[in-house]
Chains A and B, each alone.
Chain A
Amino acid sequence: MTVTVERGARGGRVTEKHQHAKGPRRPRDSYTLFLLPGILAFFAIIIVPFLMNTGVSFTEWQGVGTPKWAGLANYRELMGDSEFWASFRHSLFMVVAMAAVPTVMGLVLAAALFDFVGKHFGTKTVAVLRACFYLPQVLPIAVAGIVWSWILAPENGSLNELLKAIGLGGLQQDWLGDPDIALYSVMGVMVWVQIGFPLVIFMAGLQRVDPQLYEAAELDGAGWWRRFWHVTLPQIRPEIHVVLLWCTIAALKVFGAVYVLTKGGPGGATNVPSYFSFTTFFEKTQVGYGAAISTVLTVVILVLALIGLKLQTRAEDAEEGLRT
């Protein structure tokens, strides 16, 4: 199933190009009617609110009354707002915790599961282990937050109790309440939440790799690490691209975990753009300013997404070019 769809998706691009060259064969636009509900719904629910949000970002507005045009005032204010810069700095930490670390760990875990466990202990064992790693991914992020804020609680929290039990009581911390470590605690939780996603995708990707490549590498005397580096990594590059892009975007949008774990605190130590815009909208009711924050976040995400998609298509085109 996986493999078929995968080939299908790639093949699709080729056929499309093919047909383009031939020119249209039949009137195609009679299908437009099927697209109508979708397009209308998108305009009403996504495009209009998005444009409104962008518009509001150029105004001063408390959410009631008429918005007052303010030009670029909100954006100018943002540039000098240390809270805003801090929230984006924390986003970089989230990218490390939700994209970089899970991708690297996912690669190693997927290869280890595939190479060692799959070949010697059977697919059942692999399925069970993979399920364990994937489990946090189906958990609502709010529930994951509840679970972890209780585990990380300063008094009677499981982690501190555990440290005490194994004689490392000196390492006990107020994991979420200490401004110096709260961000790292949240990062740790996010790694736990996120790790299953790359793992499962990479394992699916590995099934696609031609075993002969490994055999050839082995005959040439390549060890496990060299095979991993020179065969596995290049072969599942499309999956790595997708995972990095998706996870980076998810990291920039992270909200629920911060809301439930720390509420951006202590003292803004774990504030992120998403939570920052939320509080600006609904607690401070500075709607114009909140809209400016979320607009900047959107621009960052869209630029990243476009770069990511560009790199991906370029890599795929290069690959196709090599094949033909």
Chain B
Amino acid sequence: MTAVQAVRTKSRPPVRSVVGRYPVLVALIIGALFMVLPFLIVTVNAVKSPAEYSANGPLSLPEGVYLDGLKDFWERVDFGQKLVNSVLISGSVALLAVVLSVLNAYAIGVGRIKGRTWVLAFFVLANMLPQEALVYPVYYLSKEAGLYDTRLSVIIVFTVIQAAFGTYLLSAVLGQFPREIIEAAKIDGANKWQVLWRIVVPVSRPTIGVLLVFFFIWTWNEFLLPLVMLISNDNQTVSVALGVLQGQRLMDATMTNAAALLGVLPAIVFFLVFQRTLTRGIAVGAVK
């Protein structure tokens, strides 16, 4: 404890504080390594040939870069198509859900409509409902409507589910929107629609950006509803295609690694591209 205290007191001799802070740093680095270790093992093994894998096991370093496993897997599951489906579904959901959230939040946060607390509570509870309690009726209704096994059906459902969260978050942000700006625009003759698109939306761009990123990634990662709704190969998302293959246990070790690596890569790309937005967004989301 004294060593730890020494860290806090800047005037102490550095030798003592070193004792306190390095073990903590080392422990944290070991923890962080453990977190990324699975990613490293997968990457290493995805570039091994099956022969090399069976000879040396999963822990050896690869002797060379063998990409045939990845290529085979890509072709076998038509991974390009799955990527297109995932991008199309997640992108549409992100855009549509943001529009829906903005409209809702404008009425609740800026418009302060009557009974807004109840409306908001309604959206929050809708967001908390487990998808299990919707899945069969959604499956049944989409069959009745001829939308079963279409990407559109998944887009519609997730637009609404994501917008529930978006409405909640944006309503809090828009509730704080400076009234003076809106009043000024109204005096200048702007109607509500113009105020929304020319003033409220541009000013709220940071929060809207956070929502776009989150909706995109959340939808990308969704499993249960797409698993039920998208059965044909041409419509499946990356998550579903990989999850189903794994579930059937048809794959050998090299295939599994190729699948894992291809599934991991988009997530890492999102992470690198959106890291700032993600961490900021979580902070925004946390305060409800």
C-alpha spacing A128/B1, complex, angstroms: 27
Say whether B111 contacts A138, CB under 8 Å. Answer: no
Q: Mark A56-78, 1 if CB is under 8 A from B, else 0.
A: 10000001000000000000000
Say whether A277 contacts B242, CB under 8 Å. Answer: no
**Residue A5 contacts which of B21, B33, B163, B207 (CB distance < 8 angstroms)?**
B207
What residues on A are CB-neighbors of B217 within 8 Å?
138
Closest to B171 in A: A12
Whether a CB of chain B sits under 8 angstroms from the CB of A305 is yes
Given contacts A50-B129, A253-B132, A297-B133, contact A133 B58 (CB under 8 A): no
User: Which of A28-36, A93-101, A167-175, A178-186 binds B?
Assistant: A28-36
Closest to A201 in B: B286
What residues on A are CB-neighbors of B271 within 8 Å?
131, 134-135, 138
Q: How far is the CB of A315 from chain B (nearest CB, A)?
A: 13
Interface residues in A, total, Cβ within 8 A? 118
Interface residues in B, total, Cβ within 8 A? 108
Say whether B259 contacts A301, CB under 8 Å. Answer: no
Q: How far is the CB of B240 from chain A (nearest CB, A)?
A: 7
Whether a CB of chain B sits under 8 angstroms from the CB of A216 is no
Say whether A31 contacts B4, CB under 8 Å. Answer: no
Q: Mark A1-40, 1 if CB is under 8 A from B, else 0.
A: 1100110111110011001000000001111111101110
Whether a CB of chain B sits under 8 angstroms from the CB of A281 is yes
C-alpha spacing A197/B260, complex, angstroms: 22
- B-side interface residues toward A, CB under 8 Å? 1, 4-5, 7-8, 17, 20-21, 24-25, 27-29, 31-33, 35-36, 38-39, 41-42, 53-54, 57-59, 100, 103-104, 106-108, 110-114, 119, 122-126, 128-138, 140-141, 156-157, 159-161, 163-164, 167, 172-173, 175-176, 192, 196, 206-207, 217, 220-221, 223-224, 227-228, 238-240, 242-243, 246-247, 253, 256-257, 259-260, 263-264, 267-268, 270-271, 275, 278-280, 282-284, 286-288
